[in-house]
Amino acid sequence: MSEAADRDVQFRTISGEQREILMIQVAKRYYDLGMTMGDLAKELGLTRWQASRLLTEARETGIVRIEIVPRTSRLPALESRLQQRFGLKEALVVPSNGETDETLLLNAVARAAAQLIAGLGRVPLIGVSWGRTMSAVAAHLPPFWNEGVEVVLLNGAMNIRSPSVRTNNTAELFARSANGTATLLPVPAILGHAATRAALEQDPTIASVLDLGRRAPVICFGMGTISPDSVLVQSGYVTEAETAALRRKGAVGDILSRYIDAEGRIVDPEVDARTIALDLKLCRERELSIGVGAGRSKHAVARACLRAGYLNCLVTDEDTALFLLEEREDG
């Protein structure tokens, strides 16, 4: 019998108490002493497979407990629950700490989103939406976070009316902080006639921008509310009366200027036919589709995005995360 086979027989016949002692010995050498699996296995007279199996058992039985302590203010346990519940690639949750001021919550969530984006490494092309949320994210991006990146705007951003705070220059802000380039979509988000949209999308310049947006492997967008103070209302694209009508049809908010219901479906095909933006179905095909939202007003639209699968990465606050994890499925 070979030496490895002999050790395997001994390993399978040891008592539970002896096995636990070995688990502790393996864990101490691996985590506290920084030994490699090969070295600690040799020292303890085990095979690498046996050492690895003992380490796995130590974690499974609670002898080893791994605690994730991020340097930034995050809640890893909630993040893991969101990822498991909704099949997300990533989730970032910042503590609410009892805060109800949505401006303060947005600032914290935007900072977390900026850290995530800056940590992606070399991504040559990123698509972004515009609005208050994305402007806040742009403000927190560090200098040269992805030098030379190309940032493409995913929805029309030529305002009819200028709000008090400019929110339609997100792509420029993203690109400027990275010493990159911005490709803009210099058309209104929502037009007066579907025929006008169709004509504009046939223009070679506009078509090339839309095509670039479709090819972006990473996209990031804010989630808009269905309210009189939304950026689409404040920028003159829809009236308060139209907003009320959309709400009656079941709208819970918008993403990329497209109004959706609680299941993520387009609520008004006529309005959508006048909207110039990335098709929401394409959000599901991105390598990373990052949705950013903070505060109670974003609860319903965030849930709709998750239900429809428009995002595979969520950046939000603690209270919103808990809302999304509730068992209730009513509106």
Which domains are present in the chain?
A: 3-60 (1.10.10), 76-325 (3.40.50.1360)
C-alpha 195/C-alpha 191 separation (Å) is 9
Residue 277 has what pLDDT? Answer: 98
Tell me the pLDDT of the chain (331 aa) as tens digits. 445 445 554 666 778 888 888 999 999 889 888 888 889 999 998 888 889 989 999 988 888 887 665 555 889 999 999 999 999 999 999 999 888 888 899 999 999 999 999 999 899 999 999 999 999 999 999 999 999 999 999 999 887 766 656 778 999 999 999 999 999 999 999 999 999 999 999 999 999 999 999 999 999 999 999 999 899 999 899 999 999 999 999 999 999 999 999 999 999 999 999 999 999 999 999 999 999 999 999 999 999 999 999 999 999 999 999 999 985 444 4
Tokens describing residue 326 = 């509730």
Alpha carbons 197 and 255: distance in angstroms, whole number:
18
Specify whether the CB–CB gap between 315 and 192 falls below 8 A. Answer: no
Q: In what order do the strands lie in the sheet with 181-183?
A: 90-94, 313-317, 288-292, 218-222, 125-128, 150-153, 181-183
Full DSSP string of 68-110: ---SSS--HHHHHHHHHHHT-SEEEEE--TT---HHHHHHHHH
